[in-house]
């Protein structure tokens, strides 16, 4: 298999793709490793020490790792530096959570009996990650699993294997015993499938497309094992009539055009109060037209390429569909004409107007730099939820923009997640059960519980 630079198609590396035999070998080694007293006998703060060392190693190599991730998936360095720093912080967070992982001592119901609940590792965890934020999403799966005492088989996206391999190297340098973390690059339909079905795999943690997530959930249900799924989203931004227009426009552009729109939380649908409709769209087009596309390694570049040409064709097909459905492309809607960008998979920032919320491009995840302004009869008393929840991909996040706190509170009160976002904030909600694939949204001393078995011990 080949890893290429999305900005110009040049070769990053040639690798041998894993096969089913590699899956069996890695899982069997992982099963032996997590049961080995060398690992299983460690108390939590000793496991935490490995994660602290990994965090330090990442911070020491931050610029090198950011450059590697930019080569891997084409994000600008300003973004990849943040993702690398996030990975270091995640390792440190779960190291601290590991140190305070607690059991429970329920209230006694019999004076002669005492019951203690302990949390023990599940065993071998299959972690399957996407290509849009490699090192950050990989650490979000690996760190809590290892903190809880498990072993991890990491299957990176076929398009971006380099960061996962480097991460495994850093864990080895930090002293993680052999077998506890293996990386298997290759096709998801081969490696992911074999991992999910392997009888020794006791949990599946997946971030990626909703269709694949649904398939893995069926496999897990057949095996009666838990899953953590972080899937697609179709996220709205709602601009109320009292919003600061400039702040709203800049926030909307950041929400959809950062990462070239390749994020499940990208604000891809826009609902605007009719009093701000025309001036806001005018300003959005000005800002989108001023974004600089180019080599993501260069300073001042706002948007890099899409992951590959196949994905660019998918985004272009959605824009063509929008035109067929009656949408007006206000800006973008094509690959850039600049000959210096011809070898990369670039696509211009695109804004589409004139479609109702039931159009396919408003219902399906595009995963690219395409913003659709949805027609609505939005008034001061309008509640967004009946409209924005009516999509095949539920909102992965959302933003309500208003000057008055009571306005955004009332706008978002019906949120099924039970949480209310702060002004301009995004609240996590995936289209499947868990908010971050490995830790179930829990914090503090409960953070690693979803990747543990709860065991009751009774004394008489």
The predicted-structure confidence for 354-407, as pLDDT tens digits, reads as follows 999 999 999 999 999 999 998 765 555 555 555 665 565 555 556 667 776 555
226 lies in the same domain as 245: no
**Considering the domain boundaries, does residue 101 fall inside one?**
yes
Judged by DSSP in three states, 207 sits in: strand
Six-digit token pair at 168?
A: 């495994």
363 lies in the same domain as 252: yes
**Considering the domain boundaries, does residue 422 fall inside one?**
no
> How many CB atoms lie under 10 A from the CB of residue 328?
13
Task: Provide the number of structural domains found in the chain.
Answer: 2
Dump pLDDT digits (tens) for 324-354.
Answer: 999 999 999 999 999 999 999 999 999 999 9
224 lies in the same domain as 305: no
Q: Which residues does residue 30 pair with via DSSP β-bridges, in sequence order? A: none
Beta strands of 200-340 (E only): which ranges? Answer: 201-207, 227-230, 236-239, 269-272, 328-331
- Confidence (pLDDT) at 387: 61
Of the candidates 395, 352, 392, 397, which has an alpha carbon nearest to the alpha carbon of residue 372? 352
d(CA 404, CA 423): 9
91 lies in the same domain as 212: yes
Q: Are strands 350-355 and 328-331 parallel, antiparallel or unpaired?
A: antiparallel
End-to-end Cα spacing for the chain: 59
Average pLDDT over residues 99-126: 82
Q: What angle do CA 409, 413, 418 make, to 5 degrees?
A: 120
202 lies in the same domain as 262: no
Question: Could you give phi then psi for residue 196, rounded to 5 degrees?
Answer: -60, -35
The residue segments making up the domain with residue 268 are: 236-401
Burial class for 324, CB neighbours closer than 10 Å (0-12, 13-18, 19+):
exposed
Domain boundary among 352, 382, 401: 401
d(CA 445, CA 93): 11
Q: With left for phi above 0 and alpha for psi between -120 and 50, is residue 259 left, alpha or beta? A: left
81 lies in the same domain as 221: yes
Domain boundary among 401, 423, 446: 401
Sole residue written with tokens 């595009």: 366
Six-digit token pair at 180?
A: 């506890």
280 lies in the same domain as 396: yes
DSSP string, 221-258: HHHT--EEEE-----EEEE-TTS-HHHHHHHHHHHHHG
Of the candidates 220, 153, 219, 215, which has an alpha carbon nearest to the alpha carbon of residue 185? 153
14 lies in the same domain as 159: yes
274 lies in the same domain as 178: no
**Considering the domain boundaries, does residue 209 fall inside one?**
yes
206 lies in the same domain as 268: no
22 lies in the same domain as 170: yes
Among the residue ranges 214-228, 390-404, 414-428, the one predicted with the least confidence is 414-428
Catalytic residue positions, numbered: 230
Domain boundary among 401, 417, 449: 401
Contact (CB, 8 A) for 301 and 76: yes
- Confidence (pLDDT) at 116: 78
Dump pLDDT digits (tens) for 369-381.
Answer: 999 998 765 555 5
**Considering the domain boundaries, does residue 429 fall inside one?**
no
73 lies in the same domain as 209: yes
* Residue 387's CATH number: 3.40.309.10
pLDDT at residue 79 tops 50: yes
**Considering the domain boundaries, does residue 30 fall inside one?**
yes
**Considering the domain boundaries, does residue 423 fall inside one?**
no
**Considering the domain boundaries, does residue 417 fall inside one?**
no
Dump pLDDT digits (tens) for 130-165.
Answer: 999 999 999 999 999 999 999 999 999 999 999 999
**Considering the domain boundaries, does residue 409 fall inside one?**
no
pTM of the full structure? 0.86
Contact (CB, 8 A) for 85 and 429: no
Q: What angle do CA 162, 168, 174 make, to 5 degrees?
A: 140
Q: Quote the percentage of the chain above a pLDDT of 70.
A: 82
- Confidence (pLDDT) at 107: 78
pLDDT at residue 25 tops 60: yes
Of the candidates 395, 362, 360, 441, which has an alpha carbon nearest to the alpha carbon of residue 231? 395
Judged by DSSP in three states, 331 sits in: strand
Question: Could you give phi then psi for residue 227, rounded to 5 degrees?
Answer: -130, 155
Dump pLDDT digits (tens) for 259-290.
Answer: 999 998 999 999 998 889 999 999 999 999 99
Contact (CB, 8 A) for 436 and 449: no
Query: DSSP letter at 189?
Result: I
Average pLDDT over residues 14-24: 97
* Residue 72's CATH number: 3.40.605.10
């Amino acid at each position: 298999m080949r890893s290429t630079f999305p900005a110009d198609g040049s070769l990053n590396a040639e690798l041998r793709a894993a096969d089913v035999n590699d899956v069996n070998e890695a899982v069997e080694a992982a099963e032996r490793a997590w049961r080995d007293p060398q690992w299983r006998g460690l108390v939590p703060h000793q496991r935490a020490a490995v994660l602290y060392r990994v965090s330090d190693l990442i911070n020491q190599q931050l610029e090198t790792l950011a450059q590697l991730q930019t080569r891997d998936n084409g994000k600008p360095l300003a973004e990849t530096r943040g993702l690398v720093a996030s990975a270091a912080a995640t390792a440190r967070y779960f190291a601290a959570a590991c140190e305070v992982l607690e059991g429970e001592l329920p209230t006694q119901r019999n004076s002669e009996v005492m019951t203690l609940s302990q949390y023990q590792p599940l065993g071998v965890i299959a972690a399957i990650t996407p290509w849009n934020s490699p090192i950050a999403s990989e650490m979000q799966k690996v760190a809590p699993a290892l903190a809880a005492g498990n072993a991890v088989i990491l299957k990176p996206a076929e398009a971006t294997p380099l960061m996962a391999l480097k991460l495994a190297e850093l864990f080895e340098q930090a002293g993680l015993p052999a077998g506890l973390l293996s990386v298997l690059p290759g096709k998801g339909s081969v490696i992911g499938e074999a991992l999910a079905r392997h009888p020794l795999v006791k949990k599946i943690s997946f971030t990626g497309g909703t269709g694949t997530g649904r398939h893995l959930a069926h496999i897990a249900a057949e095996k009666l094992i838990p899953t953590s799924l972080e899937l697609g989203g179709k996220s709205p931004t709602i601009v109320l009539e009292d919003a600061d227009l400039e702040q709203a426009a800049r926030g909307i552009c950041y929400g959809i055009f950062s990462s070239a729109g390749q994020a499940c939380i990208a604000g891809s649908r826009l609902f605007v109060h009719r009093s701000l409709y025309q001036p806001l769209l005018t300003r959005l087009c000005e800002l989108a037209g001023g974004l600089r596309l180019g080599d993501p390694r260069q300073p001042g570049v706002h948007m890099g390429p899409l992951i590959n040409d196949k994905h660019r064709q998918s985004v272009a097909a959605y824009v063509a569909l929008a035109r067929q459905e009656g949408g007006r492309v206000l800006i973008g809607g094509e690959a850039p004409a600049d000959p210096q960008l011809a070898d990369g998979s670039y696509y211009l920032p695109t804004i589409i107007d004139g479609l109702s919320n039931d159009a396919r491009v408003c219902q399906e995840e595009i995963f690219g730099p395409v913003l659709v302004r949805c027609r609505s009869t939005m008034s001061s008393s309008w509640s967004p939820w009946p409209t924005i929840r009516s999509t095949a991909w539920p909102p992965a996040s959302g933003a309500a923009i208003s000057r008055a706190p009571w306005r955004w509170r009332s706008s978002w009160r019906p949120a099924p997640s039970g949480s209310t976002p702060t002004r301009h904030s995004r609240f996590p909600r995936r289209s499947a059960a868990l908010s971050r694939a490995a830790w179930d949204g829990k914090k503090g001393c409960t953070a690693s519980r979803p990747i543990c078995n709860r065991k009751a011990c009774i004394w008489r």
